[in-house]
Structure formats: C-alpha cells, structure tokens
Chains A and B, each alone.
Chain A
Amino acid sequence: MSDEPEQESTAGETPPVRSETAVPKASQTAPSDDVTRRGFFSWAAVAWVGFTAAVGGCVSAWGRFMFPNVLYEPPTTFKVGNPADFAPGVVDTRFVEDNGVWIVNEEGRLYALIAICTHLGCPPNWLEAQNKFKCPCHGSGYYKNGINFEGPTPRPLERAAIAIDASDGQVVVDKARKFLWEQGQWDDPAAYIEVA
C-alpha cells in the first residue's frame, strides 16, 4: 500500500490533528491496491482522448453531411448551338432562364456574359429597347458588352469561358471559368470566339 493515497484521504476528511485514533481510520478508507494514481490517470487520459476523438468525429461527420454530393442544378458546362446561330449585334437571351448566360455577338467576337449582377448577385434583364442590361434589385445598368455605367455596381459583368467543340463544331460554354474585365482577362483567347 503506497503512502500517497493515505495522505490524500486524511487531508480531505479530517482536520490536521495528529492523534492515535486518526491513523487506523485513514488506513481503512484508503483505496485498495487495484487502482493506483498512475493507473487512474492513464485510463482517464485514454478515456478523454477517446471521448474527444468521438466528439470530433461526430462534428466532422455532421459538417460533411451538410455538403451535398449530387446537385440537381444545370451543369456548368453546356452547348449552345453553332456559331452561325448567333447574329451579329444581337444579345441571345435563350439560355438565361436555365443556364444563366447571355451569348453576345459583337464586333467580331462571340462571348458569354454571366447573368449575375456584380453588385449583390441578382439577375439583370436585357432591355432590347434601351440597349442595356438592367438589374431589378438596385438599378445597376450595363452596356451590351457588360461594362457597367449606372447604379451601385462597382464592376462589369463577368464572362464565362467559351470555345468550339472540335468534334461537332458547336459552341461550348464553361461557367466554372470566369474572365474579369478589371483584371484584363476579356482578351484571353478562352474568353471569346472569333466570328466573321
């Protein structure tokens, strides 16, 4: 029997009076040999590490659970037809509803404007009569090429990657790749298609 548990229990239970009767009482209430201080803390450490790991694992699993693996959204890469389908000077609004892009043929270039207002993310409308894009939320306005000129928006619309699929000659738009005017990316070869 070690000395330490005896001293612990003595200090906890009785006032520090050294008498003949206190000694046998303390030895009666001392823990048995089965549980040593070292053993207790070892098991406590294992238990706490295990508990923390279990809680951490659960929280991680709950967090990951909130991120869906399958989305029922339109794909970010899609085909919009042949280059000849897009007449010069026209803003094609056929793909805005489902895919969120306008296909614009202007000054010899075919490009895809992403229909998300760069102010706060609302969907602007193409107003043919006024020859501009206008956002209904806060009144931001953009020219046909996507450059902003009125309202609170701080920068032009973004353009998506556009290319010709070599296998069938169709125009492919990839919204996952964006090109920003303010970073000089609109002249990137992937940001437009040369048209006659």
Chain B
Amino acid sequence: MLKDLQKAIVKSQVWKSIFRVGIPTDNRKRAMAMLGNVVLHLHPIKVKKSGLRMSYTWCMGGTAFFLFLVETITGVLLMFYYRPTVEYAYFDMVDLREVAAFGVMREMHRWGAHAMVIAVWLHMFRVFMTGSYKPPREFNWNVGVILLVLTLLLSFTGYLLPWDQLAIWAITVGSNMARATPLLGHEGPGASFLQLGGTQLVHVGSDARFGLIAGRTIGGGTLIRFYVLHCVAIPLAAAFLIAVHFWRVRRDGGISGPV
C-alpha cells in the first residue's frame, strides 16, 4: 500500500513538473541533473577528492559564504524591528537584545559579522599561501579582493546602526579618512587648487566625506544612508560578485588542490 502511494506521488503531474527526470542512474544523467536544476547548477558537477581535504582548503571560502547567508537571514529578521532614525535606532537595538523573542538574532548578526571578516581574511591567506592566485586564477583573485573590501564596508556601515556612542564616534573617526581623499576631500592633496573665481570648490560642505555622511557631522542623514548601503546596495553587489567568484572557480579548473 505504501508502494502504491509512492507510485501515485511519483507519477502525479505535480511531482513530474518539479522533478522532470527520474532518479539518475548513470554518470551522464547525474551530470544532467546537476546542470538542469537551478539550485544544484551552482555546485560543480564533479568535485576533486583533494577539494574535500580540510587541511588544505580550511573550508574558509565556504565558511565565509555560510556566514554571508547567516548575516542575510538574521539581517532581514532584524529589519522587521529596527527603524533607522535618530529617535528609535538605539532603543530598537536594545529592545531586540532585551525583550524581543529570539532577540539572539541580533547577537548572531553581530558575531557572525566578526566571524565573516575573520573567515574572509583566512580564506585569502590560504589562497595566497597555496599559490592559488596564479594564472589562470588571477582574475578570480581580483574578484576576491573586491569581495574583501565589500565585507569590510558591510562591517563598517553596520557599525553605525546601533547608534550608541561607540558607533557614532567610530564612524566619525573612520569617515574622517575621507577628508584626506586626493582632490575630493577638503583636507586632501590638491583640493586647495580646485578654485573657481577665488571660491573653494571642495570644502567641508561639498567634499567626498560630505557626500558619504550627508552632513558635516555624523547625524540622522548618515544613519539612513549607511542603513541603505548596509541592507541593500552592498549586499546586492556582494551577492553578484559571489556568483561570479563561484562561477570562475569552476571555469578556472575547480577548487585548487595540492600540486
């Protein structure tokens, strides 16, 4: 009877519309199943045995990606409570920590962020030490460097969102670096030469830092700006580049292994 039920399900139109091919029985069909499935096609059809050696890969790239997923899921959950305004931001963060059910999501997001930065650095370290940046992988190394920068920018923009004293002054100190941008920062080299009829074009109210933090000092404008960068702009860019990164891993001959 159980067999009949199983047969009825497998033969049903719903089942067949989802799983168009039956259980693959040979290597070709297995490969086709990987290629034809939207989720599985992200994974390589074949994995080298050496690619599973933890002592060689450290699985730090996979760990970084796993943490990116953790950050995405917990981050979206946090967005249901957190309001990025000067009057609410800090108290919403405290509420998430103190009174929200499973408010531990906030701690997971925070610790996951720290872990992701560490994992990305260790991944980069492993790739460097095993020489896996060499041709034909040099393009993917560059994609990885951009992903490292995006990871650090995600951390930096997320740093402001608790809106406590540490956040405000850390971003004050961090964003002061933009003052020294060549030509575009009002204290940077060359900026004093950009004049029009004796008027400074690049000053504290028009330089790169001003455009970044929407004001002369960190304020409500900075908070919403960093929130949008943190929740939308940088994650989208990172997700796109992660896809390119994985695709190139396969194109460049699979995950690097011992020579």
Whole-angstrom distance from the CB of A97 to the nearest CB of chain B? Answer: 13
CB pair B172–A73 under 8 Å, yes or no, is no
A window 73-90: CB within 8 A of B: 73
Bin chain A's interface residue count: 10 to 19
Out of B173, B204, B216, name the residue touching A122 (CB < 8 Å). Answer: B173
Contact with B along A119-140 (1 / 0, CB 8 A): 0111100000000000001000
Expressed in whole angstroms, the Cα–Cα distance for A81 and B166 within the complex equals 33
B190 within 8 A of A: no
A196 within 8 A of B: no
CB pair B169–A67 under 8 Å, yes or no, is no
Residues of chain A within 8 A (CB-CB) of B221 are: 68, 71-72
B217 within 8 A of A: yes
Residues of chain B within 8 A (CB-CB) of A68 are: 214-215, 221
Work out how many contacts link A and B, with CB atoms closer than 8 A.
Answer: 33
Contact with A along B216-247 (1 / 0, CB 8 A): 11011100000000000000000000000000
B13 within 8 A of A: no
CB pair B219–A73 under 8 Å, yes or no, is yes
Residues of chain A within 8 A (CB-CB) of B173 are: 120-122, 137
Whole-angstrom distance from the CB of B253 to the nearest CB of chain A? Answer: 34
B85 within 8 A of A: no
Expressed in whole angstroms, the Cα–Cα distance for A66 and B206 within the complex equals 11
B210 within 8 A of A: yes
Whole-angstrom distance from the CB of B118 to the nearest CB of chain A? Answer: 25
CB pair B210–A122 under 8 Å, yes or no, is no
B176 within 8 A of A: yes
Out of A63, A73, A120, A137, name the residue touching B217 (CB < 8 Å). Answer: A73
CB pair B219–A72 under 8 Å, yes or no, is yes
B window 146-171: CB within 8 A of A: 169
Residues of chain A within 8 A (CB-CB) of B214 are: 66, 68
Out of A72, A121, A123, name the residue touching B220 (CB < 8 Å). Answer: A72
Residues of chain A within 8 A (CB-CB) of B136 are: none
In the complex, the chain B residue whose C-beta lies closest to that of A122 is B169
B211 within 8 A of A: yes
Residues of chain B within 8 A (CB-CB) of A73 are: 215-217, 219
Residues of chain A within 8 A (CB-CB) of B219 are: 72-73
Contact with B along A16-51 (1 / 0, CB 8 A): 000000000000000000000000000000000000
B window 198-213: CB within 8 A of A: 204-206, 210-211
